[in-house]
Amino acid sequence: MSVLPDQHVINQIISGHYADPFSLLGMHSVSAGLEVRALLPDADQVWVIDVEKGKQVAELRRYDERGFFVGLIPRRKNAFRYKLEVRWGENLHVIDDPYRFGTLLQELDIWLLAEGTHLRPYEKLGAHPQTLDDVDGVSFAVWAPNATRVSVVGEFNFWDGRRHPMRQRRENGIWELFIPAVHEGQLYKFEIIDCRGNITLRADPYAFEAQMRPDTASCVRKIPDVVPFSETRKKANALNQPVSVYEVHLGSWRRHTDDNFWLSYGELAEQLVSYAKWMGFTHIELMPVNEHPFDGSWGYQPLGMYAPTRRFGTPMDFKAFVDAAHDAGLNVILDWVPGHFPSDSHGLAEFDGTALYEYADPREGYHQDWNTLIYNYGRHEVRNYLAGNGFYWIERFGIDGLRVDAVASMIYRDYSRKAGEWIPNYYGGRENLEAIAFLKYTNQTIGRELGGAVTLAEESTDYPGVTMPPDANGLGFHYKWNLGWMHDSLQYMQLDPVHRKYHHNLMTFGVLYAYSENFILPLSHDEVVHGKKSLLDRMPGDTWQKFANLRAYYGFMWAHPGKKLLFMGGEFAQGREWNFDASLDWHLLDDPAGWHSGVQHLVRDLNLTYQANAPLYELDYNPRGFEWLVVDDHENSIFAFARRDENGGEVIVISNFTPVPREHYRIGITRPGRYHEILNTDSHFYRGSNVGNCGDVYSENIGHHQREHSISITIPPLATVYLRREEA
């Protein structure tokens, strides 16, 4: 006979408060045969169809007027494939019952997800179109161990949390459900009844696409195909290669002139990629493209970690953009933010009613500076969520490197906190041991599994070993932003030339620690916002001197040990601060003979010269590649050094940071010979005064600077000159 459920249980499932739907719904063996139970609100009639026989085998009767149906198939003991034929008014639909399918996660996946070592958690969690038992649909899975019930809601079920409650895998707190007939492109969320009884609607933490703000639903999308890592892309990231990075905010690089609307990923693939290639950059670095609710965060407060922002197009559009960059010979670096996340109600904050993704204590889990939450790096599932995300962007979109934002805020518990506002670690120290372990694990895993991809740290302190391997007690990054060099050199350049002789060490100090890490020299977006002025506007003097100072500074930077990074607009000396809500001032280039065009052509030539001359990059991280020739001429504010490569090539670099030209300036050199002037920032091509050395300079057997040979040159005012040693 039928074993009917208790009315209290039926009330619970109809009200959406029953946490074990598979124990009630679907096909169950009873003493009299097989019983099928279904929750179909507003349905009028329901029949069970034997798929193999292709006919109705039982009618389900409405056991509860609110849509709970029960029917017995007598004298049958073995479960079989079935469908439900449902009549809603005049409409008749044949549907597959989600509650006839078995568990989705395999034991190995459950183990690895709980352990926090699943390389690709995004292949199991989230929403995945697939075919089960010849039925097309979507499998959903979400981690919410402390929730009392989780349902999938979306366009396919009237956003009704009663219709598709999920199965909880008690082994690891993941809820799962396969829903037939759901297809790619449909919107969904998870309706969660948390441990306090509150009902919340949450976007999928693993969603591959999200709605355009202010809407917040997730969108069913297939996971992108794996992008093979070519040898060319691997080589371009190497320590002994030229790396010149163009940092870009996609929403404000260029906009449509008629409505100030963003360019699409497709338009950026045409315009930005071709421009960066023409300018001679080797890499494009994108400020965060993860979905984020607030434009003014520039992407640094992400919620959709697995979803490229919908502002500029679809995930496949973004992937096509990356492909276009690769086709043009450019590598793509993604600004990646595992350091914090906003507390928006549709996001991760108290996801299941508890501090699931964040630390519970605000002294650990709240960023005062940014009004955001901090990930609990000690929780295995959170570490897996973040490390897997880095893996995802590299493997599925072809991203070549991850620039990790605000590393210092992650690794120090007292970051931007006063005494009493932070909790020491287990040993009483200020280091966040869990965050350090997470960074080591992520960097080591990417290095081992995705050889060729790189990670870059924006780390603002002197934490030791940022670019050392984890097994040597380092953090395992490939590169570190040299923020110390940036601050010192900009401080020097902002001085009136008459005062620079008193601060000469600001330009030389960086070499003392240049080989302690694998440094990138960054002039990033952070230096042209919040009242800091543009790079051009920081330069002292009249218009001519401002532009000359900037050109000389760029020349010094491109020759200094370390890879290069320049934020958009800096390449043509934009005069105003960056505004994320408007296009760069491209009209400044309307005059091809103007000051701004001159700087643009200089940066292009710097990039091309840099790539064409191995001494400028090959030994960036080896002291053999650098030698000071003039380091102590404070009075004249002159610096001279040699850059060398593995094969004996040499480029001598001389910078004059005063507006006074220096004629017959003698510099002692190590290797005699002919030196050819390959770049001069004072050239008339760059709108300079065109003072120079007419091509070649020959060494003389005149001792100087404790060296047997020397050269006598003319050094232009506020300029940097490159001289390449030529074979006889």
Closest CA to 404 of 475, 342, 490, 327: 475
Residue type, 579: N
pLDDT at 487 over 90: yes
Please confirm, yes or no, whether 134 is among the known catalytic residues. Answer: no
Question: Which two structure tokens, joined as six digits, stand for 603?
Answer: 């940066």
Give the Cα separation of 132 and 307 in Å (integer). Answer: 25
Say how far apart CA 614 and CA 724 lie, in whole Å.
11
Mean pLDDT value of segment 712-727: 95
Is residue 556's pLDDT more than 50? Answer: yes
Which positions ≥6 away from 603 have C-beta within 8 Å? 279, 280, 554, 566, 570, 571, 572
For 193: left if phi > 0, alpha if psi spans -120 to 50, otherwise beta; the answer is beta
In the chain, what percentage of residues exceed pLDDT 70? 99
> What average pLDDT score do residues 133-156 get?
96
**In 3-state terms, what secondary structure has residue 189?**
strand
Model pLDDT for residues 196-250, shown as the tens digit of each residue: 989 999 999 999 999 999 999 999 999 999 999 999 999 999 999 999 999 999 9
Q: At 166, give phi and psi (nearest 5°).
A: -100, 165
* Whether 405 is catalytic: yes
Give the pLDDT confidence score for residue 728 in this predicted structure: 61
| pLDDT, average across residues 409-418 | 93
Q: Which residue has the higher pLDDT, 258 or 727?
A: 258
- Contact, 480 vs 459, CB < 8 A? yes
Which residue in 335, 458, 605, 682 is the catalytic one?
Answer: 458
0.85 cut: is pTM over it? yes
Nearest to 342 by CA among 334, 332, 350: 350
Please determine, for residue 304, whether its predicted confidence score (pLDDT) is greater than 90: yes
Cis peptide before 464 (omega within 30 of 0): no
Q: Specify the higher pLDDT residue, 4 or 580.
A: 580
Which tokens go with 688?
């300079």
Residues 6+ apart with CB under 8 A from 440: 470, 474, 475, 476
pLDDT band at 1 (very low <50, low <70, confident <90, very high): very low
Give me the chain's average pLDDT, please: 94
Q: Per-residue pLDDT averaged across 626-639, rounded?
A: 96
pLDDT confidence of residue 317: 97
Q: Are 485 and 507 in contact (CB under 8 A)?
A: no
pLDDT the model gives residue 578: 96
Q: What is the pLDDT of residues 54-78, one digit of tens each?
A: 899 999 999 988 889 999 998 888 8
Evaluate if residue 134 carries a pLDDT over 80: yes
When pLDDT is averaged across residues 403-423 and rounded to a whole number, the result is 93
pLDDT for the residue numbered 9: 86
Report, in angstroms and rounded to the nearest whole number, the Rg of the chain calculated over CA atoms. 31
Its sign, for the CA torsion 217, 137, 124, 169, is positive
User: For 342-381, what is each residue's pLDDT tens digit?
Assistant: 999 999 999 999 999 999 999 999 998 899 999 999 999 9
Checking if the pLDDT of 695 tops 90, the result is no
- Tell me the pLDDT tens digit for each residue of 469-481: 999 999 999 999 9
Q: How far is CA 438 from CA 45, 362, 400, in A?
A: 54, 20, 20
The strand pair at 283-286 and 674-680 is best described as unpaired
Out of 97, 209, 405, 527, pick the active-site residue.
405
Question: Using an 8 Å Cβ cutoff, are 147 and 195 in contact?
Answer: yes
Q: What SS3 state is found at 665?
A: strand
> What is the identity of the amino acid at 308?
P
In the predicted model, what is the mean pLDDT of residues 444-456? 93
Measured in whole angstroms, the distance separating CA 262 from the mean position of its chain's CA atoms is 20
pLDDT at 32 over 90: no
